[in-house]
A and B are shown apart, each in its own frame.
Chain A
Amino acid sequence: MATDGAQAGAAAPLKVLGRRLARVDARERVTGEARYPADLALPGMVHARMLRSPHAHARIRRIDTTRAEALKGVLAVVTAADFPELPVGTMIPMGETGYDMWMVAELNMARRKVCWVGQPVAAVAAVDVHVAEAALALIEVDYDLLPAVLDIEAALADGAPVLHEHVLTKGVEPRPKTPSNLCSRTVIGRGDTQAALGQARAKARASVRIDTAHQGYLEPQVVVAEVDANGFATVWASTQGQFTAELMIASMLGLPASKLKVVPLEVGGGFGGKIAIHGEAVAVRLAQRCRRPVKIVLSRDEVLQGGSGPAAAAMIDIEVGAGEDGRLVAIDGTYRMDAGGLPGLSPSLVMQASAALYQCPNLNLVGYDVVTNKPRTEAYRGPGGIQAAFAMEQAMDMLCERLGMDPLEFRKRNASVTGSTMPIGTPFPSIGLTTILDRVAEHSCWRDPLVKGNFPRGRGLALGYWRGTSMTSAGHITIAGDGRPMVTMGPVDISGTRTTMAQVVAEEFGLALEDVHIHTGDSKSVGYSDGAAGSRVARTATAALVEASRDALSQLRKRAAEKLQCAADQLDYAGGAFRARQAGGAAISLKELMAATLTDGAVIGRGVSTKLPLGVEIGAHVCDVEVDTETGLVTVLRYTAFQDVGLALNPAAVEGQIEGSVVQGLGWALSEGFDYGPDGRLRNASLLDYRMPTALDVPKIECVIVETPVPNVPYGVRGVGEVPIVPPGAAVANAIARATGVRMTRMPMTPERVLAALQG
């Protein structure tokens, strides 16, 4: 078979991939030209604001918008009554489970009741934001207050007020007939855990609680919507997935898909928080009503105070046991996840992730998804991973102490390898955990003794696993009149994807990076692609664009064969030119070929990836801390992240993902946590009081990249961005324990909490 382009996984040396190249979109970023939705101003554009619930739990008896509508400058007011009611179970496609539109609708406009402070109840479009704000104050909402449940225990208590009458716990047999706040129970198990724990030589138990944290993207959600004279709506949004957004908007409005397109602009950070829509459908409805383009910009207070989902709080108990030989015999885990005001993600992935890296014959993992009167939570980078690892990796560390074993040696002895059984019972595809652990053992971050400081210092080790997903990615390549590939990719770029994918196409075409032009298509100009989430994009978009490149080159090959008057399979392709194979054979460059055949019709190569193997992510982190025993302040002195990435498409981009992800994890570990008052209001809804790390709070993160290719994936690429946020909480906690002998059971580990723990 004549194959164009590089052979995926073949030994041919890579020319563009694997190199440390600057981002193709770096220039517009450093000059301020990169365009985010907030930068858009359309002729005649008006501004909208949302009225949000001041109550954590209340029935809406009546909403009167008459006075707001009468205010001069107000152009339209909408409430839930202006949207079709979507029953529970109105599903749209999304990954492996789909997405319930009832929840998306509630997230965007509450109907009949509110379940958290900040849930939208009405929206106003007006000539400017000041008028819109003034109008909000004129909307009268008659609330019937209900008692609220603000944490997992309160939500599960007997007689607790119930958020949703339709929630009958899934996963419990027989299925309950009365509603509760427990949405689902998930069990993963094998063997006899209780018996194994009973016979274990050493046991350890970690019972921890993790506060809600926020994705913390610096760009608040923004949408601009315009509806033309024929009713066609265009939505410019800060979104991780233009197709998911389109499905959600169309469903919320009852709009046919052919009457709508979503244009993704630059995304100023998403991390999972920009998968669902937050106001997009509302903006379109307002634009339909006032016949002017409508812009909604969320304030930072709205972003934090219930306008966009934070990550789940959790209560997790892990008990582990090992035999005389230091081999694990059992893991028993209970994972209670606080989903906020609407049912959340299944805890299954989190449960699997936390136990996946250990070979263990007896497993009993039980997960609970619980609703409370707090903002509906959303995905945040390896959703649930850091919470579960905070418990599991501390339990393992405590077990090492009981066994008198070195924590690295313990991990080596129990590490999952290629082919060992995953928690769900299937064998592990190719993984490089043992390689990672060997690299840790030989690295100075592990070997160098701790330098004495003014306060106790300790070194912590923690592992992280994230499964990721694949789903669908599409793309196409049009060959320009000068022979250069113009790439339209489906997935939104939130992690430098345009750069790495331009590298992929350059590699396939044998061209330089600067010869490839790339952009992300809108939802009507490229094939359906799922959102940029679950560490799926680099791998699946690579597969799609390898296919598209080869398709385009095969079309070009036919044209070249005609021009050079030889059989297509007698042509060699390299470096942007076809050459007849016989001695002294004629050659034609892509530029010459397109110049000669421009009027023969377009050359468009197409590619799609739908069911690519997973690219599971594994990391090991080593962290040195100093604990100020007078103030409780924990300083991270050194931090090294080891990660298997399959192939680093662009090592600088890979490091960027790892470093950023680790620092988000350190933020949650040490300072980021939502502080709710008894009324369900967030008390630290600002970036001063919600403390994300600054440049002064973290050291330079060192990265050690390991490359174990994933079989049957072009170039063997793995996911990268999610797993580095998983170990930091546990790595820091283990370091604190080794410095002070004190175990932290609550995250974030703020100075106040550390000091309290030190004082017993």
Chain B
Amino acid sequence: MKTLIDCTVNGEERSVLADTRDTLLDLLRDRLGLTGTKEGCGNGNCGTCTVLMDGAPVNACLVLALEAPGRDIATIEGLAQGGELDPLQQALVEHNGTQCGFCTPGILISAKALLDENPRPTEAQIRHAIAGNLCRCTGYGKIVEAIAAAAAARGR
């Protein structure tokens, strides 16, 4: 069964038909073609599908598309503004905080949620904020450094 979903994605009003079985992740990837958000496990354990829903990070694979109407959703595609990388993205590039890249969008969204709420996090707070995002390539060190550097750059 299909149903019409009206929601805001990256500041744009979207109206899209979704299967009632679709998750928010299916809606974003398969119906809207926003494939930057990844699926690593499908049951909320890896964090690769992290998006912001009304400003709060959620695992899009655990949210039904049917919960999206009226919500404001932000994905990795909306992070850079006018071709200009967000300081978090820039820091991840400069600190080599991305390797295979599969966890990167989710990590960036979790980090964005952190800095929006706490502009000067400690290392422990950064690690806590991305603890729901598994990364298998980097060992996390360069990601943590990058987020700290982005926070410092924002503060200046």
Contacts and interface: CB of A to CB of B under 8 A. Distances in A.
A218 B99 contact: no
Contacts of A695: 126-128, 130-131, 133, 135, 140, 143-144
Contacts of A216: 136
B102 A26 contact: no
A31 B90 CA distance: 10
A547 to B, nearest CB: 28
A219 interface: yes
A31 B100 contact: no
B142 to A, nearest CB: 6
A199 B17 CA distance: 80
A713 B155 CA distance: 47
B136 A700 contact: no
Given A39-B35, A687-B46, A218 B127 contact: no
B136 A269 contact: yes
Contacts of B130: 694-695
Interface string B14-58: 000001010000000110011111111111011010000000000
B76 A31 contact: yes
Nearest to B80: A31
B38 A656 contact: no
Given A30-B89, A32-B35, A696-B127, A659 B141 contact: yes
A635 to B, nearest CB: 13
B92 interface: yes
B143 A687 contact: no
Interface in B105-144: 105, 108, 126-128, 130-144
A715 B99 CA distance: 24
Contact of A271 (B35, B75, B136): B136
- The size class of the interface chain A forms with chain B is 35 or more
A652 B35 CA distance: 28
A23 B102 contact: no
B66 to A, nearest CB: 16
Interface string A280-291: 000000000000
Given A32-B35, A300-B43, A218 B77 contact: no
Contact of A32 (B46, B105, B137): B105
B94 interface: yes
A30 B43 contact: no
B100 A659 contact: no
A687 B40 contact: yes
B138 A656 contact: yes
Contacts of B142: 652, 655-656, 659
Contacts of A48: none
A585 interface: no
A212 interface: no
B85 interface: yes
A589 B141 CA distance: 43
A687 B41 contact: yes
B139 A698 contact: yes
Nearest to A128: B19
Contacts of A688: 43, 45
B139 A701 contact: yes
A26 B100 contact: no
Contact of A268 (B42, B101, B128): B101
B73 interface: no
Contacts of B33: 41
B112 to A, nearest CB: 12
A479 B133 CA distance: 42
A38 B38 contact: yes
Given A22-B94, A268-B38, A656-B142, A31 B89 contact: yes
Nearest to A494: B100
A653 B96 contact: yes
Contact of B93 (A22, A217, A220, A663): A22
A29 interface: yes
Nearest to B92: A30
A308 to B, nearest CB: 14
Contacts of B128: 695-696
A686 B44 CA distance: 10
Given A31-B85, A218-B46, A701 B141 contact: yes
A269 B100 CA distance: 6
A687 B134 contact: yes
A216 B102 CA distance: 12
Given A23-B96, A269-B100, A663 B139 contact: yes
A130 B21 contact: yes
B143 A36 contact: no
Contacts of A20: 96
B79 interface: yes
Contact of A300 (B29, B42, B132, B144): B42
B102 A269 contact: yes
B48 A659 contact: no
A267 B137 CA distance: 12
Contacts of B99: 495-496, 656, 660
A609 to B, nearest CB: 24
A662 interface: yes
A269 B101 CA distance: 9
A664 interface: yes
Interface in A423-440: none
B40 A656 contact: no
Interface in A257-271: 266-269, 271
Nearest to A22: B93
Given A26-B98, A495-B99, A687-B134, 16 more contacts: A20-B96, A22-B93, A22-B94, A216-B136, A220-B39, A268-B38, A297-B39, A496-B99, A653-B96, A656-B138, A686-B45, A687-B40, A687-B41, A692-B134, A693-B140, A695-B140
13 contacts: A20-B96, A29-B104, A30-B92, A38-B39, A41-B30, A269-B102, A652-B95, A655-B96, A655-B142, A663-B138, A686-B43, A687-B43, A696-B128
Interface of A: 20, 22-23, 25-36, 38-39, 41, 130, 215-220, 266-269, 271, 297, 299-300, 494-496, 652-653, 655-656, 659-664, 686-688, 692-696, 698, 700-701
Q: Return the 4 tightest CB-CB contacts between A and B, nearest first.
A: A32-B36, A268-B102, A29-B101, A659-B139
